[in-house]
Amino acid sequence: MSPVATEIELALPHLTLRGLAHGRAGGERVLAIHGWLDNAASFATLAPLLEDVELVAIDLPGHGHSDHRAPGAYYHYVDYLGDVLGAADALGWDSFTLLGHSLGAAVASVLAAAVPSRVRQAWLIEGLGPIATVESKALELLRQALRDREAIAAKSLRVFESQDVAVAARMQANGLTEAAARLLVERGTRRTEGGFVWSSDPRLTLTSAIRLTEAQILVWLGGIECPTLLVTADPSPPYFNRETVARRLAAVAHIERRVLPGTHHLHLEDPAPVAAAIAAFRARHPRD
């Protein structure tokens, strides 16, 4: 695949999504969904290594170059399902493969269960279903979410003197390499008076008002019908521990797991092993 990506714009009824298109028409149609507070550049190093694909990496609403949600609206991963389907419709794709990282993997796995007739395969990186909560924490989450919504109006965006300073902040926050952080920062900041600010919607950082229990998530994952690949890093993040992964793998009928050494952003920082895992999976599950 050519390493050159093309900027794209997809007009949905309620907002406009933007992203990066890789490859050429005629290959396997892949819709790529990035993680929380990342953007379409998350797949910039992996996409060129995937053969015979037409890959479109979108900026989710509130991220990267895409529109923010309307005033008074908030962000919940369930709402991303309609956004991703809207992107596929705007592309004219009746069926497609989903590639997701972290939050994007949660969205991709739930979408694969919700519309099995449209999703041919799911390639998931560091995520299988959303973060769960126990019943006893539900009221606490709701109260915190409402407090956060009241407080956000008084918050101001941090201004970075330069993108280099923003890169350093992103490296410290996520343990990213300089090269990986720069890819995300260059797409995830905008100029303002005095320097640069994050282009992501501040409402993305608010506490989720509602989270499902693990039992509910397992029911959803049980609806995935397509061949599914889960790539996880060693070590994995705390919220994606061994017990959680084992339960969720058992819920999906046709899933394979590949564990690779690396960080949470292994697909961005060391993409070759991830690309090889995807290639091997595709060889075992060729297109009709």
How far CA 16 is from CA of 32, 73, 180, 202, in Å, comes to: 17, 16, 26, 18
Q: Facing residues of 189 across strands?
A: 198
Q: Facing residues of 8 across strands?
A: 19
Closest CA to 106 of 122, 120, 87: 122
Indicate if 102 belongs to the active site.
yes
Q: Facing residues of 234 across strands?
A: 261
Closest CA to 88 of 125, 50, 68, 115: 115
Are 142 and 209 contacting, i.e. CB atoms less than 8 angstroms apart?
A: yes
Task: Say how far apart CA 183 and CA 163 lie, in whole Å.
Answer: 11
The 3-state DSSP class for residue 88 equals helix
Task: Say how far apart CA 150 and CA 46 lie, in whole Å.
Answer: 40
Q: What's the token pair of residue 189?
A: 């900041």
Sequence-distant (≥ 6) Cβ neighbours of residue 189 within 8 angstroms: 160, 163, 166, 196, 197, 198, 199
Catalytic member of 42, 66, 102, 200: 102
> Which residues are catalytically annotated?
102
